Amino acid sequence: MSKKVIKNGRIVTASDDYIADIMIEGEIVKMIGLNIDAGGDVEVIDASAMLVMPGGVDVHTHLEAEIGPAKTVDTFESGTMAAAFGGTTTVVDYAQQPHGDSVIAGMDDWLGRAANACVDVAAHMIITTFNDQTLVDMKTILQRDGVTSFKMFMAMPGVMMIDDAELYRIMRMTGENGGLSNIHAENGLLIDTLIKEAVAQGRNEILNHPRVHPSITEGEAAHRAIQIAKLAEAPIYIVHVSSQEAVRHIAEARYDGTPVFAETCPHYLFLTEAEYDKPNDEAAKYTMIPPLRSQEHQDALWRGLAGDDLQVVATDHCPFCLTEDSWGLKHSKALGKESFAQMPNGAPGIETRLPLMYDGGVARGRMSLNRYVQLMATGPAKLFGLFPRKGTIAVGSDADIVIFDPNETWTIKAAEHHSRVDYSLFEDRQVTGRVKKVFLRGEMIVDGAEWLGHSGGGHYIPRGQSGQM
Ligand SMILES: [Zn+2]
């Protein structure tokens, strides 16, 4: 078995912070100690002055996903290669039940495509149609494939929306089986009405996008989801929280001891709705749901992270190109040229999560290094049944390791990204902290700008029960 030693790095986990050597044997961390004697046949990697952290765990991506008439532009290969360059070694992607079809068919299709991944992958399943068979099939993939979380949309009636009674039944079954129900919390019926009103009045510019997704529709849905979860006696996880109303409801429920967990995304933490006032071509980059909101909401999200009312930062990487016909995909952000209502909603971010959060979180003094690792890797790995194999650096854990330079300052450029998408939400932003080397189960897959990984190098990881924190 191949052996490597990462020497003299500052090892940071969610709980520890010390300088030591890490011996990797095969795919796992074999030993951690001081001055480990490497011996002759052992590859030595010097990590002096570097942070050595667990590989990132991004639990919200949409790779090769069909969303309405559009399809996201990153394949499992391109998306996970981009993830790797951003220091993420495990991606939990959203598989989807084709509308009106079976959950199992959706899972089998996803497993086939995910075989091309370059980092380790796991799946949540999006439930789009509900009947008695749906519950049976959900249980099947839960046991067969280790898919222990399901996502339901309270938005997009007729396409994705699951009603309150269905939510209750799904939450109950999922909770009884040790799983987690992921909720897209927006009031779909109200939002659809607001969209129709805007279009009828000829308000088609993108600046209307946040107006038809007001924060009250997110807060209402988050509150309702929490009440349904209480009734079902099941834990829930609210995805991509963007509003102070939602944070408040989550905080209140947690104060009462209700098992509610939640995530936010870098774009909500660093950008505001001012982006929508830009010319349409530029504003198109930022259409996602929920939308970017005001500074007040952004501040509430940072407070939520600080107080542990939000436990995860994930990307919701859902990339659509700006230009038409990119990569053989007809539908892009150009669909929304005539009206925001036709715009595919989603934005990229899989490659910039770790550096952005290091810069905005740690370097600016908003959070400790331990809290940073907790949000980037340990927390999501625990919540979604991947810990301790993933999400930490410990003897026996997978050797998924990032060597990170905390002092390098650099500028984000979409042209230097590895995703297929043709823009970044953070173009020209200067950040401090950069991923230098990445190991996936002991194999170095990123070395500076050099790519050493390969399609199919990632494994499918069946997940265990949700380990609630
Ligand atoms: Zn999403």
The pLDDT score that the predictor gives to residue 469 is 58
Give average pLDDT by consecutive 10-residue segment, the chain, 469 residues. Answer: 94 98 97 90 95 98 90 96 98 94 96 98 97 95 97 95 98 97 98 97 96 98 98 98 98 97 98 95 95 98 97 97 80 85 95 98 97 98 98 98 98 97 97 98 98 98 87
What stretches of 172-310 adopt beta strand conformation (E)? Answer: 180-184, 236-238, 260-264
Q: Are 116 and 76 in contact (CB under 8 A)?
A: yes
3-state class percentages of the chain: helix first, strand second, coil last, to nearest 5: 35, 25, 40
The pLDDT score that the predictor gives to residue 394 is 98
The pLDDT score that the predictor gives to residue 84 is 98
**Centre of ligand 1 from the C-alpha of residue 18, in Å:** 36
Q: For the chain, how big is the Rg over CA atoms in Å? A: 21
**Centre of ligand 1 from the C-alpha of residue 314, in Å:** 10
The pLDDT score that the predictor gives to residue 172 is 98
**Centre of ligand 1 from the C-alpha of residue 60, in Å:** 6
Which of 323, 317, 318 is closest to 281 using CA atoms? 323
**Centre of ligand 1 from the C-alpha of residue 348, in Å:** 11
* Token pair of 173 as six digits: 């079954």
Query: Which residues fall within 8 angstroms of residue 59, CB to CB, at 6 or more apart?
Result: 92, 124, 263, 312, 314, 380, 383, 384
**Centre of ligand 1 from the C-alpha of residue 151, in Å:** 9
